[in-house]
Copies of this chain bind each other. A is one copy, B any other.
Amino acid sequence: MNETISLLQSHRSIRKFMKDQVTEEQLDAIISAAQHASTSSNMQAYSVIGITDKELRSELAKLAGNQVYVEESPVFLVWCADLYRWEQAAKRHYEGEMPSTTENFIIGTVDTALAAQNAAVAAESLGLGIVYIGGIRNQPERVSELLQLPKHVYPVFGMCIGVPDQSPLERPRLPRKAVYFENSYKPQSIDSAIEAYDETLSTYMKARTSGKAATTWSQAMATKAGPVRLHMRSFLEKQGFNLE
């Protein structure tokens, strides 16, 4: 349809990178694209920390689950929801108490994701590859200490960026009818879509693993059903997010 849409439609997560550096000019363009994303009432409630220190990177890679690409990617960014900077600004003219609300938590989390996705698209438009690292939430308290995050800032995810050294198959997505609805949610269209997608994904897994695995989507989703990262609530409270 056009180059940008082709780019968006051809996204694959990249987990193996060439040694080539990402240039300062490229990183500038990536961060600038992030800064231009939409933001709730211009709050710009996110910050991004580029990890250039080798020891720190190594430590973060361990905390995120020992993923080698977190340690070795040319660029590693930690994207943080940030209500601290907004509070510093607001306090100049507002004397009341500033409640730590679920609403502001949502604003910070959404602003962070919008900015990061612009960064991802910018990077891919430059021929670079990216992968989001949710593992940064495995031990968020330790990550926050290492990055010296003030209260009301929390690490939402990391992002590796670099020149791709792999060309993975494009992973098929859910049928559109399971994701897009007209005028109201249609739970009755979910079951058949899951069944169709289970087949699609099983075929994809076979191709990707040269026949070794044929996991369906619902099987993969079941592995995520147990208690995962149950520390997030208490971590967020310690970090000043009371979710009132």
| A positions within 8 Å CB-CB of B | 1-5, 7-11, 13, 25, 29, 31-33, 35-38, 40-44, 46-53, 56, 80, 84-94, 96, 98-99, 101-104, 106-107, 109-110, 112-114, 116-118, 120-122, 125-126, 130-132, 134, 137, 146-150, 153, 156-157, 171, 173-174, 176, 178-185, 187, 190-191, 194, 217-222, 224-230, 232-233, 236, 243-244
Can you report 7 residue pairs joining A to B where beta carbons are below 8 Å apart?
A3-B4, A38-B132, A43-B224, A89-B217, A93-B222, A98-B225, A106-B232
The answer to whether B229 touches A103 (Cβ under 8 A) is yes
B132 contacts A90, CB within 8 Å? Answer: no
Residue in B38, B56, B106, B149 whose CB lies within 8 Å of A183:
B56
Q: Are A183 and B221 in contact (CB under 8 A)?
A: no
B43 touches A221 (CB 8 A): yes
Closest to A122 in B: B5
Let me know if B122 and A224 touch, CB within 8 A.
no
A36 to chain B, nearest CB (A): 5
Measured in the bound complex, the distance between the Cα atoms of B7 and A198 in whole Å is 36
Tell whether, in the assembled complex, residue A11 and residue B38 are in contact, meaning their CB atoms are under 8 Å apart. yes
Which residue, A85, A99, A122, A224, has most C-beta atoms of chain B within 10 A? A224
Inter-subunit contact A89/B185 (CB<8 Å): no
- B221-A171 in contact (CB<8A): no
Q: In angstroms, how far is the closest chain B Cβ from the Cβ of A11?
A: 5
Q: Choose among B36, B93, B126, B179 the residue that contacts A44 (Cβ–Cβ < 8 A).
A: B179
Report B-chain residues with C-beta under 8 Å of the C-beta of A229: 101, 103
Q: Are B221 and A244 in contact (CB under 8 A)?
A: no
Q: With A49-B183, A89-B217, A156-B110 known to touch, is A226 a contact of B42 (CB < 8 Å)? A: no
